[in-house]
Chain A
Amino acid sequence: MLLLPLRVGKVHDLRAELTSEKKDPRGQRKKVAMKKVVANMTMGNDMSQLYQEVIACMSIPDLEVKKMVYLFLINYARARAEIANMAVNGFEDDVNDPNPLIRAMAIRTMGYIYVDRVIESLIDPLRHCLRDRDPYVRKTAAMAVLKLSMFDRSLVEEEKFLDMLKDLLADGNPSVVANAVAALTEISERSPHIKLKLNMKIANKLITALNECNEWGQIYILESLMYVVPQDTSDAETVIERIMPRLQHGNSGVVLVSVKVIAYMMNYVAQTETLEPILRKLSPPLVTLLAAGPEVQYITLRNIQLLLQRWPTILQNQLRAFFCKYDDPIYVKLAKLEVILSLTTEENARVVLTELVEYAAEIDVDFVRKAVRSIGRIAIKIELAADRCVRALLDLIQTKVNYVVQEAIVVIRDIFRKYPNRYESIIGTLCENLDTLDEPEARAAMIWIIGQYADRIDNSDRVLATFLDTFLDDPAEVQLAMLTAVVKLFIMRPTAGQDMVPKVLKWATEHVDSPDIRDRGFIYWRLLSTDPEMARAVVLADKPEISAEGERLDMPLLEELLLQVGTLSSIYRKPPCTFIPFAKKRVLGASEALTRLTIAPPPVSRLPRSASVMKRPPSSKQQQRTASSADDGVGGLSGSSSVQLSASALDVTNGGSGGMSNPYINDTAAGFMQGNDAVLIDLMSMDDDEYGGDSSAAINSGGMAGFNASFGLTGMNMASLDPATRGTAGTAPDSQVLNSAFDAAGLDALASVASPMARLSGRSGSPMPDLMRQFTSSFDLSSGGSSMGAIPSPMGNLSFSQHLQPQPVSGSTSSLAGMAGGAAAPYSVAANASSMPTLLGTTVAAGFPSVLSPTSTVFNIPTSTGSPFANSAAISGVQGNQQPLSAPVAGNNATLFSQTGNNSNGNITAAASGISEGTATAFKKEVDDLATQMYNSGFHNTTNAGSGSGSGGVGSGSDTGTYVAPRHVLLDAQQTQGLEILGTFARRTGGKIQMEMSFANKSSMPISDFAIQFNKNTYGLTPSGSLGVGTVAPMHSVDVTLPLTLGGPAQAMQPLTNLQIAIKCTAGVFYFQTQYSLHILFGETGNSDQGEFLRMWKAMGDAPTGSRNVQRLRFASMEDMRNKLNMNNVFTVAQRAVAGATHFYTSSKLVDGSMFYSEIKVANNFQAAIIVTKSTAAHLVPLYQKAVEDICTAF
């Protein structure tokens, strides 16, 4: 309080100085006084009382004084309107000042003051200033428009300032152009309905202006090039070529934004030959940035990681540039380590390893840990280096540095996982360090190792017993490991484990609070008490492969992040919308030229990555997921997916009481779909006018809304959920069982489900907020009555389906996620408003390692929106456990996924197992699947059995997603002295085209030495592998899959899909010809957005079209149909319901680039459909339609 009079005194003095009547011709005294005012202001002293005096100084003709007055105004006027109002006159004088600097300053300052009167008086002068003859004023005015738009967006539009900004793009002065571009870019980024689109003409002009701009202007212009969607490859190539020189710029901001634009444009380059030199040119500038300041180095390194994932060939042979200097800041070192790991190949593994060992001796604990962990990753990634890595790790363990030892043990566990029966000799050394393990992860790893090798470690029981004392105090992760290890011990050495097992099981089920552990405890208990053999099969099952590609991002996320190179988003590896409230999602603009090419590195040097990343099928996504969970090093113990499996198993044992407590309920996410987010986005960014009254637009927005409804309900942590959801996105959606039904009008809702990010952005950036609000209604149907009959055994299998009958107007959609292990646990169900009066069928069935009845019981539950409905389950025919099941089981589609967020209850379970008629699968197989899952519960975050051709356990109907024509006789035994070949063509997930054949030997002699050759054909289809048929014994047959590639010698055939094939074997040489279904040539990238579709549809107005009637479609729902089509690369662009029918709009792209656009009108009873197709390749339309028909009518 003492200070107060002092300060008042100061203000008083200053006031006196400012109003002094003394002679002050050039304002020098007042300048000094003003400086004092500004000084006080900076120190946080309130000078606002002086405003009258200060504003009076505006008339002093001195630039410096004026600047200070303006600073004062910016500081105080935004809070106090009266100050601003008083200054208006002064401003009005200044904007007409002959001195351009003063004019500009006035405009600039006024824009900062968000007070109505100031803004009002800004509008007119601003219009003049935008046309000022002085470029400095114009560039300042351009920025002022942006300021204005942040104050009042509508004002800017009403006053036509946007148009004036657009005009400035053609300004002769580069700085003006740059600022205008910057302003436009930001306005469009923040506006819900303005979308910046630049055509090539403007782009070319802007690029020309680049040369004259200062560095910042270059950044703004380059940034704006992200809004150019190249319409053909040459557009993209032009842009790349023209901005390539920018990589030599001294400003790292310019370099990285250029990299961003180039990386973006590379998606539109069609030829690998064009891409390669571009990639080569990208590398040196990136390395050069490593000589910049550490902050820029860090940003560069983070981005290099992203670029490397997408284009693994960049930075080849640049490994050494990433070696850490001793005095690099820690964040640079950690980032370098990641890059080093990515660049490690068989050839340089040795050098890298030496380097990592060096790092492991440094001081920073994080860095050392990461170095140790990296050694383990290399062992897993590069088999040839594994020995060396293990030796290095052992050496590190000898150092006895506590955290090094613990980290090493964690990675050694993964190495054991990857290479069973190879390094067990080192277990002894590991055990020497038992006492020092105090970190949960290391303890858990050690326990896992002991459990896994319980039969090889003589005293494994005693060693495990040492961990027993602390069991109840240990963290969940360790308890879980312990539980599993003890059970393994018991199974392998019953006598040794018999004392421990009951104790641990009792603790786990009675004293532990964690539901994960409790549930696991129960499941083991049941297993062991009912069927020890099964327990053995489950607990000691083979483990799925793990791979080292740790922090790999899944493709859609990676693609989005690559559109954000150099920004915060790229550093955090999170889409901007996760941390910026208004951020719009960026996507690769759809265009015919969108190729998403990548170049795979030479196959020797990298393992799983050699596959073209872009075309990665769902199954490999799943692998990635698996890998990353291993990589998390958490070992999937906390919140592991299969734990949910057991969780529900537990519920079952409890008698399946209605209101079971499920900790995961809030985070249950609905939906499995192919990651097809492009569809969603383009919908949102659709131009309204372009669409006019097209009803499909409305329907789509309904879909959006529906989808949002579910999202609103689930309220999950998007960031951490994302990978998990994506990881499971590959479950074959068209198997008889739908994992989640998300029907009604929301076609794209489905697409969006797979990509939660898309949704998030959908919420923030959708141009139809009103619609959304209107439609968004979410109901938690789950907590209500989920009633389950008592299930006598945890292996009880049940299958049930539910049909919801939506009300005509506000129909409901159920999204049923997370059915695990046979219990209808109360997961969340989202009801979506929809306007489609169709029946919606959700069939959820869950398979469990037990006998099951092949028939699923169907319940029809009329549900009105908002009312809780009961998930009823029918358990039919629980029979004895032991006998093998002969019932046909197909399409086991169990998917478990979980989220390992920091939120402890963040978990999602969604498992659905389907039973359908089809191929018969032995019971054992089913058990194996489950075993895998169970195993994973002990190790992995995510198990994803049952999808596509994924790892581990998939029922025989594994690839039910893609259509495969029935096999037909290619060679008849009659004409070939006993060799009969049946065959068909398939396109499996990931775009693998293959010929699936069975060779039957009906002669009395063995036939061997098979070889196959294709004649030239229309698309150059040739075998890419050898025919893996050995000797076929008499009266035996061999099934074989022959991978095919395109690009062989081509020659048009008649019909176009005809193939002439020669088979050579000991029985002779045989020739035959066959035809394949065109669908095997549909590319994975054939999806286009609505705008695109419409454009093309209109553009091909006169193109010959074909129309085809199809009878008896084999679909259970529209959902099913869409999924099936999508799985076969007939992508649904839009879907709308009309009376009694549904219209699908689809696009497909043939490998040769021809596009097919179809309208498929389907009667709601699926009795008939009409396909109308337009295509760039009209001659193919009949074949195309035939293929679509086959897809639709196949079982």
Chain B
Amino acid sequence: MLSAVFIYNQKGEVLISRLYRHDVKRSVADVFRVHVISSPASVVRSPVTTLGSTSFFHIRYDNLWLCAVAKNNASAAMVFEFLYRLLGLGVSYFGRFDEEAVKNNFVLIYELLDEILDFGYPQNMEVDTLKLYVTTESVRSRNVVEAPAPQSITMQATGATTWRRNDIVYKKNEAFVDVIESVNLILSAKGTVLRADVQGQIVMRSFLSGMPECKFGLNDKLVLDRDPASGSIVNRSGGVRVSGGAPPSRSMGTRAGGMGGVGDGESVEIADCQFHQCVRLGRFDTDRTISFIPPDGEFELMRYRTTENVNLPFKVLPVVRELGRSCVEYEVLIKSNFSAKLSATNMVVSIPTPPNATKCRIKVTGPGKAKYNPEENAIVWRISRFQGLQETSLTAVVDLAPMTKPTPWSRPPISLDFQVLMFTASGLLVRFLKVFERSNYQSVKWVRYMTKAGSYEIRI
């Protein structure tokens, strides 16, 4: 288990140092600084460093180094998970988690560290509960509820639903579901798909009173195959309300006619999924029902992964020719591969150029503007809006400076960044979200879909 936690700034100065065990001294903070932070190697070769019998686990965020120290054969995954969570707490408490925030809130951070780790064992790290009794001025003022009795805090902090207080009241009960998919693609230079998968995230923002029991359904192939009737029953039973809200939101139950490539009744094969700790894993295991009592506010309900039938939103056809040592020619054609009713926004195509590029002549036919960015060694092509079933192309000639020692160009891949609303690359749809609460209130639910680029690489 952890013996100490340190937070350093970029330079390696210790901002926070909390020792939990007597087997380390504060001076180990220096050991890490000397061996890792100030190490001459520019790239960190491993997130874990063991010196003697002392192991340091670190992650970096913004201008901070978060470092946990262990003297035993610690479970590395747990330690990193703890550090991620610590980061999350910081962000949640202070909005930004950087040197500034740490310096301004060190007392609170110490309080948190005292609470979330006992003798190096992670304890309750749920923001909601912690905010009940580890508070800053600012956090407290936002808390509408008066400080609850200590007993209810302790019940909360140790109970079966540590992530939720039981005294939450909303006038209007609403739940927002965001389905956010990241498409990962590696396309070979010859145009074959080496790897395509979708990492999905279902983020929920719940503003529901009391202790609501939620049930959540997707067009999961395993569920639909087993019980094709259940889907329609659910739809008719009207666990879902239709309401014409803001454009990006789509009320549940209506089929996504505009959803790229996914027709009605189609189901998605989910390769694997992971859930927030509020989801009852046992039930999912037996009948693939996703049931849970949600935390209040925003949380990531689940993550999933699909590898079959990925609808790639963009096709990229690059031709890159190195003409001798003096010049490289590019022809890049991009086609959007989703319904014409939808469009991609904030699209950025980064086309790498050799490090010794001097001048670029670029021509774009179609939407978007491109220019050569010498710092990144790339032509950056920005397309603010890209309609479905459209295409655009770029041609460029890049002149190269002669090199004294010619080294071959490693030809890094072209990468894409984009967002497409109301489109899921996996074809996943939310079928229902049902909320049951003792007081039997009506609730409104909204769902939104977005696909963005994960690591969308096209080799050249």
Contact = CB atoms under 8 A, between A and B. Distances in A.
Interface of A: 35, 38-39, 42, 44, 63-64, 67-68, 70-71, 74, 78, 99-102, 104-105, 108, 111-112, 114, 134-137, 139-140, 143, 146-147, 150, 173-176, 179, 182, 186, 189, 211-212, 214-216, 219-220, 223, 244-246, 248-253, 255-257, 284-285, 287-288, 291, 293-296, 298-300, 320-321, 323, 325-327, 329-331, 351, 354-355, 358, 361-364, 399, 401, 564, 566-572, 576, 579-583
B158 interface: yes
Nearest to B84: A293
B195 interface: yes
A1033 to B, nearest CB: 58
Contacts of B305: 284, 287-288, 291
A291 B75 contact: no
B184 to A, nearest CB: 8
B1 A42 contact: no
A1155 B305 CA distance: 47
B75 A257 contact: yes
23 contacts: A42-B106, A70-B114, A78-B22, A105-B114, A135-B158, A136-B153, A137-B154, A143-B119, A179-B123, A223-B75, A245-B284, A248-B281, A249-B281, A253-B80, A255-B77, A288-B271, A288-B272, A325-B184, A326-B415, A326-B457, A568-B76, A570-B76, A571-B48
A294 B81 CA distance: 11
B230 to A, nearest CB: 21
Give the residue among A70, A173, A299 with the most B Cβ atoms within 10 A. A299
Contact of B157 (A136, A189, A299, A399): A136
Contacts of B151: 100, 134
B257 interface: no
Contact of A581 (B46, B48, B53, B74): B53
B63 to A, nearest CB: 18
B48 A568 contact: yes
Given A295-B47, A325-B455, A285 B272 contact: yes
A1070 to B, nearest CB: 58
B281 A363 contact: no
B73 A583 contact: yes
A326 B413 contact: yes
A1130 to B, nearest CB: 36
B240 interface: no
B199 A291 contact: yes
A576 B73 CA distance: 6
B22 A326 contact: no
Given A182-B121, A326-B415, A361-B411, 19 more contacts: A44-B14, A71-B110, A101-B133, A216-B122, A216-B123, A216-B125, A248-B274, A250-B275, A250-B276, A285-B272, A296-B80, A325-B184, A326-B457, A329-B43, A401-B407, A401-B408, A566-B78, A568-B48, A582-B72
A257 B111 CA distance: 29
B155 A135 contact: yes
B410 interface: yes
Given A223-B75, A252-B77, A571-B76, A211 B119 contact: no
A146 B119 CA distance: 8
A209 to B, nearest CB: 10
B195 A331 contact: no
Interchain residue pairs A-B with the least CB separation, the first 7: A253-B78, A136-B154, A284-B272, A245-B285, A245-B281, A175-B158, A576-B73
A111 B124 CA distance: 19
Nearest to A189: B72
A567 B76 contact: yes
A894 B170 CA distance: 82
A354 B114 contact: no
B150 A101 contact: yes
Contact of B459 (A214, A220, A245, A358): A358
A490 B154 CA distance: 85
Given A135-B154, A325-B455, A362-B410, A143 B53 contact: no
Given A219-B75, A330-B43, A321 B197 contact: yes
Query: Chain B interface secondary structure, helix, strand, loop or mixed?
Result: mixed
Interface in B67-96: 70-84
A299 B276 contact: no
A198 B273 CA distance: 31
Contacts of B297: none
Contacts of B77: 252-253, 255-257, 296, 299-300, 566
A1194 B14 CA distance: 72
Contacts of A567: 73-76
Given A42-B17, A572-B50, A580 B274 contact: no
A99 B125 contact: no
B160 interface: yes
A102 B184 CA distance: 50
A291 B78 contact: no
Given A248-B273, A285-B274, A253 B81 contact: yes
A147 B199 CA distance: 42
Nearest to A135: B158
Interface string B100-143: 00000011001100100011011111100000010000000000
Contacts of A35: 107
B78 A257 contact: yes
Contacts of A355: 194
A568 B307 CA distance: 31
Contacts of A330: 43, 45
A196 to B, nearest CB: 16
A897 to B, nearest CB: 28
Contacts of B411: 361
A189 to B, nearest CB: 8
Contact of A331 (B47, B50, B159, B281): B47
A175 B124 contact: yes
Nearest to B455: A325
A643 B314 CA distance: 61
A569 B73 contact: yes
Nearest to B121: A182
A299 to B, nearest CB: 5
B310 to A, nearest CB: 12
Contacts of B122: 216
A508 to B, nearest CB: 38
A294 B47 contact: yes
B385 interface: no
Contacts of B271: 284, 287-288
B40 to A, nearest CB: 16
B74 A325 contact: no
Contacts of B282: 211, 245
B280 interface: yes
B106 A38 contact: yes
B22 A114 contact: yes
A329 B76 contact: no
A245 B290 CA distance: 12
A626 B37 CA distance: 40
Contacts of B114: 67, 70-71, 105, 108
A70 B126 CA distance: 23
A139 B158 contact: yes
Contacts of A570: 76
A1166 to B, nearest CB: 46
A64 B110 CA distance: 11
A122 B425 CA distance: 59
